[in-house]
Chains A and B, each alone.
Chain A
Amino acid sequence: MSEMKEKLVFDRPESVIDRPTHYCPGCHHGIAHRLIGELLDEMDLAEKTLMVTSIGCSVFLYNYLNADAVEAPHGRAPAVATGVKRARPDKFVFTYQGDGDLASIGMAEIMHAANRGEKMCVVFVNNTVYGMTGGQMAPTTMIGQITTTTPAGRCQTHEGAPIRMTEIIASLGGTAFAARAALNTVPNIKKAKKYLKKAFEFQLNGTGFGFVELLSGCPTNWKMTPLKANERIKDEMIPYFPLGIYKDVSEEGGVC
C-alpha cells in the first residue's frame, strides 16, 4: 500500500484570529472578515494596517482580525479614518461599517471622506437592517420589508426608498473605486474578494478612495433560515442593488 500524504487545502488566514465569533448562524460578517483576512495575508498588509471599526454587530471586527484598531462612534468611522490616515499616511487604513452606521447617521462622514478622496478603503456591509439593536428599519431596508419599526413593511411614501450607496459614492470626485458584490454564492464571494483587492490597491498606490458594498444576509432579523436568506439576496436585493463595478479610475484615466 502506498503511503497516503495529507495536503492542507483550506486553512484559517493568519490575520484571522482563531476564536469563535459572536455572530448569529448564517450571518455573512464571518465571510467578509475572512475575505479581508485573506487579503491582509496575501498583500502582506497586516503589520501596517490600522482598522477603524463602527457601531453595530461589526464593532467586534477587532476581536477577529489581528491588526491594530480604533473604535469610532456611530457613523463616524470615515472621519476617524481620515484622522488616522492623515496622521499616519504610510499605513493601510480601512473602515468596516454596516448600513445603519454608514448610510444613516454617518451619511455626511462617508460622503465627504469619499469626496475628499481620502486614501482609505471602506467595507460597507449592507444587510438592509439594524442588526445589533434588534432588527429596526435601516436606510437600505427594502420596500415592504417588515422590521421592528416598520411592522407593516417599509412604505416609500412614509419612510422613503432604500438608498443605493455605491451609486452615490461612485458619483463623487474623490472616489477611485466603487463596487457592489454579494456574499450569497461562491462566485459572488470570489468577486467580492476581487473588488476588495482592487480597492486596497487603489489606497496602496495613492490613487484615492475605495468603496466596496457587500450585500449580506441577516437570517436572525429577517426571520429566515440561512438558505432562505441567501435566496432573498438573489431574488429581492440584487435586482434593486445591482452588482458590479460602478467606478474604476484605472479605466478612466485617474482622479484629479
Chain B
Amino acid sequence: MSKKTERIFVKGNEAIARGALAAKCKCFFGYPITPQNDIPEFMSSEIIKAGGDFVQAESEVAAANMLLGAGATGVRAMTSSSSPGIALKQEAISYMAGSEVPAVIVNMNRGGPGLGDIGPAQGDYYQSTRGGGHGDYRHFTLGPGTVQEAYDLTIKAFDIAFTHRTPVLILGDAILGQMKEPITPWEPENIDEEAGRDWAITGRTDGREKRLIKSLFLEEGALAEQNRHLQAKYDSWKDLTEAEQFETEDADLIICAYGSIGRIAKSAVRKFRKDGKKVGLFRPITLYPFPSDELKALAEQGKRFLTIEHNLGQMLDDVRLAIRTVADSDFYPIYPGNLPTPDELEEPILKCLEGK
C-alpha cells in the first residue's frame, strides 16, 4: 500500500534522491563526480529538511566508510558516485558485506577504464555483480531502465538492504542519470526505521550485551563459518530475481539487455514487431541475483538469444551461464563513448534473426 502523489518531471539522478527520501534515508555521504552530481546536490538541502544529515566527504573512500559507520548504527544511509569513485568505495563495500551492514550505493556508470569519459557505459557490470572489492562476497545489484524505475528501485533497495543486512548497489548510467521523464512519486508505508534494533550498535542500554560490527574472524574455523553463513544468505536470494519480459512469448529471438540499453533495445523490438518480426526483450532488473531461471525457461522453448551491452561483453557471461545446457547467446557490443539509438541496433538484430 502506498500513498501516490502528483506527477513530477525529473532527471534519473533526482528520482533516485527523491526515492531515497521516500524510503526514509537519514544520512547521505557524497563526493563530486560526473554524471551523478545531481544526487549529492539535491540531498545537500533536501535530506536536511527531512531531518537527516549530509556530509560532503573528503573522498569517495571516506564517503563509503561514513556509510559503513551510519549503517552500523541501523540508520538508513546512502552514497552515490560514478565508476572511478565506485572503485574507491569497494574497500568499504567489502567491509559492509563482511560485517553485514545495510546500505545503499548508487553507481551512475561512466566510460572506462581509467578516467574514461563522462558518457554512459555499462563497463562496471562485473564490478557490480561479482563483489567488486576483496574477498568472497556478493551484494544485491539493481539495474533500473527508466526514471520511474530508478525511483521505485531506490525504495526497494533500502527494503532489501535492511531485510537482508547487506549493501545494495543501484547500477545506472549517464543516460539514466541525466534523462528527464515524468514520474509518479509514492511514499512507502510502514517503514521500520528501527529495523536494526536487534543487531545495530546503538549503545549498550538496558544492560544488554555489547555488540560488535566486524569482519575480522581469527579464531580457528570462524571465518569459514562466517563465509558459509554469507553464502547461504546469497543463495537465499535466488528467488528474489526480477526481469522485464517484453514480447517474449512467441519470439524467435530474444534480446538480452539491461538498464538504458534495455530500454533502447525495447524501442528496436517494437519496430521489429511492427514489421511482423518475432523479436522479444529480456531485461534483467536484478543483476545480482541474476534471473537465470526465467532466462533458462525461455531457452528451453528453443529461442535464440542476442545479448547487447554498452561494454565489451560482461552480462553475456551470466546469460550464457543461465542457458548453457540448452542454448548460447550471440553478442553485440556498444563501445563506451557512443550514445546508441534504436536504429543502430536494427542491423545486428536483423543479422542475428536471419542467422547470418
- Alpha-carbon distance between A70 and B91 when the two chains are bound, in angstroms: 15
Interface string of B64-88 (1 = CB under 8 A from A): 0111111111010100000000000
B91: A residues at CB distance < 8 A: 73, 76
Query: Which residues of A have CB within 8 Å of B4?
Result: none
Q: Mark A186-222, 1 if CB is under 8 A from B, else 0.
A: 0000000000000000000000000000000000000
B210 pairs with A68, CB closer than 8 A:
yes
| B69: A residues at CB distance < 8 A | 52, 70, 72, 79-87
Q: Is B257 an interface residue (CB 8 A)?
A: no
Other-chain contact of B65, A59, A62, A66, A72 (Cβ < 8 Å): A72
Q: Is the interface of A mostly helix, strand, loop or mixed?
A: helix
Q: B341 interface residue, CB < 8 Å from A?
A: no
| Cα distance A111–B58 in the bound complex, in angstroms | 9
Chain A residues, Cβ within 8 Å of B95: 71-73
Q: Is B18 located at the chain interface by the 8 A CB criterion?
A: no
Segment of B123-131, B199-207, B265-273, B332-340 engaged in the interface with chain A: B199-207
* B57 CB–A CB distance under 8 Å: yes
Indicate if A16 sits at the interface (CB-CB under 8 A). Answer: no
Number of B residues with CB within 8 Å of any CB on chain A: 38
Determine if B216 is an interface residue (Cβ-Cβ < 8 Å): yes
Bound-state CA distance A163–B71 (Å) is 33
A-B contact count (CB 8 A): 136
Q: Does B212 contact A (CB under 8 A)?
A: yes
CA distance A25 to B63 in the complex (A): 38
Instruction: Decide: A71 and B66 in contact? CB cutoff 8 A.
Output: no
Most buried by B among A66, A69, A80: A80
Q: Is the interface of B mostly helix, strand, loop or mixed?
A: mixed
Instruction: Return A30 CB to nearest CB of chain B, in Å.
Output: 19
Residue from B70, B99, B204, B215 within 8 A of A83 (CB atoms): B70
CB-CB under 8 A for A49 and B203, given A62-B212, A84-B70: yes
Can you identify 16 A-B contacts, CB atoms within 8 angstroms? A47-B205, A49-B203, A67-B203, A71-B99, A79-B58, A79-B62, A82-B69, A83-B65, A83-B68, A83-B69, A83-B72, A83-B77, A84-B70, A85-B69, A109-B62, A109-B65
Closest approach, in angstroms, between the C-beta of B322 and any C-beta of chain A? 34
B204 and A68 within 8 A (CB): yes
- Beta-carbon contact of A112 and B203 below 8 Å: no
Determine if A43 is an interface residue (Cβ-Cβ < 8 Å): no
Check A121 for interface membership: any CB of B closer than 8 A. no
Q: In the bound complex, what is the Cα–Cα distance between A68 and B213 (angstroms)?
A: 8
Chain A residue contacts of B71, Cβ below 8 A: 83
Given A71-B215, A73-B65, A76-B62; A88-B99 close (CB under 8 Å)? no
